[in-house]
Amino acid sequence: MKAIRVNATLACAAVVSVGLTATHASPGAAQRAGAPQSQSVDIRVLPVQGFNTTRMYMLVGAGGNIAVQIGEEGVLMVDTGSAAASGAVLAAIRTLTDKPIRYIINTHAHPDHVGGNEAIVKASGGQRTDVGGGNGGPVNPDGVILVAHQNTVDRMLSPPRGQMPYPEFAVAGSSFFTADKQLHFNGEAVEMWWHPRAHTNSDILVYFPRSDIIVAGDLLQTETYPGFDAGAGGRLQGMLNGLNQIIDLAVPQFNQVGGTRIVPGHGRLCTESDVVELRDMATIVRDRVQYMIGKNMTLEQVKAARPTADYDPVYATTTGMGTTDRFIEAVYTDLKKPWNGPGPAAKSGLNFIDGGR
């Protein structure tokens, strides 16, 4: 697969103002609050796969990864990256097509995934409104439809203390609060499942069955330990359930490779076997820490016992949520809390199995 590289210099007043702080490693986090908006952002465009005239791409370098589906009807984006990268993201999409952006799906509310909404919705003529008046404003049939779980909307409009809310036009007008949602675009179904207690309380998996691509958001991170935002309702078991659903959906082509491609929130493009490896690692660490909790070990004793020792060379980072200490602390704290099941997603999720206790 060939990667195109786009360099774009941002000089865009539209992307100032969002003051949310990332709760895990986010290259965009430090840039959002700062006034200067002139910097070089390097976006890599990776063609993934598709069918007929519909193609899908993975954009890397904007904070969280972005998935883009392009076809006869226009452009659909899953996540928009950080605010600071939005000019470069738009430039990268324009190297692929001049068709309008018609859909943006947000996987969750972290600013390295939704920070680009503001500039990209503006550049796409605002949000689509079919009915005028009231909160809908004027009729705007040519705008972009912005889709997210209602918890993402709530978090963006009412962020934790000390963080600035996003403007209403950059927050999904087409939100849902059910276990799943479906739409049809560019000749294929697009299916979304809500994982209410996973990386946050609002994660959705997005599945493109004809392109054979799953967009995982931060339910899947390939280069660090699985980070979950406990302050936003994140739970380790929900992360594992999300990985298990990806494994259920994905079909390898040959010898456990090829076939379904999975776009992670951070890191490299995956096939099913990559996800199995990550799921197994997280499950093994969970079981080790659970065993130690069963032995009444304190957090300090668990850390000293090094339950991640064999995985640290691969997944431990030196900063942020992914350090060994912080990950063990997060897992320990999480496992001390009761698990009340995966929530309503289990009722309609495809082959959804709660691996919880």
- The binding site for Zn ion (CB under 5 A) comprises 110, 218
* Shortest distance, position 313 Cβ to Zn ion, whole Å: 24
| Nearer residue to Zn ion within complex by CB, 227 or 342 | 227
Where are any strands of DSSP class E within the chain?
Answer: 4-9, 40-51, 54-60, 66-71, 74-78, 101-105, 145-149, 174-176, 180-185, 188-195, 203-208, 213-221, 261-266
| Nearer residue to Zn ion within complex by CB, 188 or 218 | 218
* Shortest distance, position 158 Cβ to Zn ion, whole Å: 18
C-beta atoms surrounding 220 within 10 Å: 27
Q: Dihedral sign, CA of 179, 126, 156, 36?
A: positive
| Nearer residue to Zn ion within complex by CB, 143 or 238 | 238
Does residue 72 sit in helix, strand or coil? Answer: coil
Cα dihedral 99/105/109/110 (nearest 10): -50
Bridge partners (DSSP) listed for residue 217 = 264
Question: In the numeric block, which tokens belong to residue 273?
Answer: 């076997």
Amino acid at 313: P
* Shortest distance, position 111 Cβ to Zn ion, whole Å: 9
| Nearer residue to Zn ion within complex by CB, 143 or 234 | 234
* Shortest distance, position 155 Cβ to Zn ion, whole Å: 11
Q: How far apart are CA 320 and CA 21, in angstroms?
A: 13
| Nearer residue to Zn ion within complex by CB, 191 or 218 | 218
| Nearer residue to Zn ion within complex by CB, 218 or 274 | 218
* Shortest distance, position 149 Cβ to Zn ion, whole Å: 13
* Shortest distance, position 200 Cβ to Zn ion, whole Å: 7
Q: How far apart are CA 79 and CA 114, in angstroms?
A: 6
Q: How far is CA 313 from CA 82, 197, 240, 308, 309, in A?
A: 28, 28, 21, 9, 8
